[in-house]
Amino acid sequence: MPEAGVKLRVCEGMVEDARKGIVRVLSDVMEELGLKPNDVVAITGKRTTVARVMPAFQEGCPPGNIQMDGILRQNAQVGIGEGITLTRQEWQPARTVILAPVLPGWTLAGEHEIVHLKKHLIGRALVPGDQVTIPQFAGGDEAFTVEGVAPRGAVVITRDTAVRFKGGEDTEGRGRRVTYEDIGGLAKEVQRVREIIELPLKYPQLFHRLGVEAPKGILMYGAPGTGKTLIARAVASETDAHFIHVNGPEIMHKYYGESEARLRQVFDEARKKAPSIIFLDEIDAIAPRRADVHGDVEKRVVAQLLALMDGLESRGNVIVIAATNIPDLVDPALRRPGRFDREIAINVPDQRGRREILQIHTRGMSLAGDVSLDRLAAITHGFVGADLAALCREAGMYALRRGLARFQLGKGSLDDLELRVTMRDFLDALAE
């Protein structure tokens, strides 16, 4: 344990707290650990889990005790009367949480059920391996195991968290599908990418019959966070192509000594699972101008990539999209015909583009009437898509904190937290 903890004896939780991921301790314990209501705590029994802490009522909780419900007792692997150690816990808002039903045979009824289940999870603190029980839309409870969370460690579910349900219907693919409607301010660019990629991927026989060479490689360039990866993913989803994401620096470092083998593997997989799109992110790390390269390893990796590109048949069913911030850093040999011979600039969005991107990233939020996306677009000059996405997430966090503060004051329950994001939330997030 990194921080000193307090040892406490486990007693039953309050009925109204059941399944909400809340523990209660007396105020002397709160003070000792410097805890405020609704802070996240770690509870260590035979296992460590996390929960939000609330002050206990004197009559419900004997001194030296912690009130926790059966689900949390299971998560901490302790029984009533046994001991746990309570510490304060750092956490981050969850980007993604993957839940798997405990009992087989559970199926997701539809979008509305995801919305319903997620609503019950907002504000909940989790670590991987925890179990959560959620009242079902149609009545009854359903238990899920937290299979994974991102970022790693203890997280709290927010409105912006992507909650994925495994099992059930194929929520994996469908829920996370990136479509062209998720890309803002790049209509012309997307149109070009579609022309170059969709046609050959969808109708390879056409190219074959006409004896026309389908493109094999595209070089997308532009500042980080402008949506290059997003476009590549969207094209793959929309054409039902197999998508392989290759990160340039990772292939050079993580696979050091095996970079060429790894590249061959990727191209192999693409061929076997065709139609495929290989996305080579930060290609300048894999294929810098050879004049700038000193090491033999780097030279061999560039040569391997060139050979793989040349070895691809121009049948259109495997397309390689390379992305870089600075095209001039890329080995010119890669930009010759038959290799990455189409180039598309992905520009920093203008005001209209920013407006579109803001609209996309506020789609799932309930916005207060005073929120003006026009005004936000006007005052975010220089922001790229990733910045705008972060701004919306951050504004959502402000609203969440405000909602939780109200909840602490006893106005309402976690279940019906009313979360509306206001213009003020956006401006506060901007000022950060």
Report the interface residues with ligand ADP, using CB under 6 A: 183-186, 224-230, 323, 357, 360, 385-386, 389
Q: Counting every residue, how long is the chain?
A: 432
> Is cis: bond before 151, omega within 30 of 0?
yes
Task: Determine contact, residues 121/415, Cβ cutoff 8 Å.
Answer: no
Name the residue nearer to ligand ADP (CB basis): 69 or 356.
356
- Please state, in angstroms and rounded to a whole number, the distance separating the CA atoms of residues 38 and 53: 5
**How near is the Cβ of 235 to ligand ADP at its closest, in Å?**
12
Return the number of other C-beta atoms located less than 10 Å from residue 123's C-beta.
Answer: 23
Name the residue nearer to ligand ADP (CB basis): 297 or 386.
386
Name the residue nearer to ligand ADP (CB basis): 44 or 237.
237
**How near is the Cβ of 331 to ligand ADP at its closest, in Å?**
20
**How near is the Cβ of 400 to ligand ADP at its closest, in Å?**
19
Nearest to 311 by CA among 263, 244, 343: 263
End-to-end CA gap in the chain: 32
Name the residue nearer to ligand ADP (CB basis): 80 or 378.
378
**How near is the Cβ of 419 to ligand ADP at its closest, in Å?**
20
Name the residue nearer to ligand ADP (CB basis): 225 or 316.
225
Angle at 230 between CA 274 and CA 361, to 5 degrees: 140
Residue nearest to ligand ADP (CB): 385
Name the residue nearer to ligand ADP (CB basis): 36 or 352.
352
**How near is the Cβ of 430 to ligand ADP at its closest, in Å?**
17
- Please state, in angstroms and rounded to a whole number, the distance separating the CA atoms of residues 130 and 309: 45
**How near is the Cβ of 384 to ligand ADP at its closest, in Å?**
6
Decide: residue 271, CB within 10 A, 0-12 exposed, 13-18 middle, 19+ buried.
middle
**How near is the Cβ of 174 to ligand ADP at its closest, in Å?**
18
> Is cis: bond before 275, omega within 30 of 0?
yes
- Please state, in angstroms and rounded to a whole number, the distance separating the CA atoms of residues 428 and 432: 7
- Please state, in angstroms and rounded to a whole number, the distance separating the CA atoms of residues 166 and 311: 38
Name the residue nearer to ligand ADP (CB basis): 79 or 224.
224
Name the residue nearer to ligand ADP (CB basis): 68 or 321.
321
**How near is the Cβ of 81 to ligand ADP at its closest, in Å?**
48
Decide: residue 3, CB within 10 A, 0-12 exposed, 13-18 middle, 19+ buried.
exposed
Fill in the DSSP letter of residue 14: P
Q: Which residues pair with 87 in a beta bridge?
A: 42
Task: Determine contact, residues 241/235, Cβ cutoff 8 Å.
Answer: yes
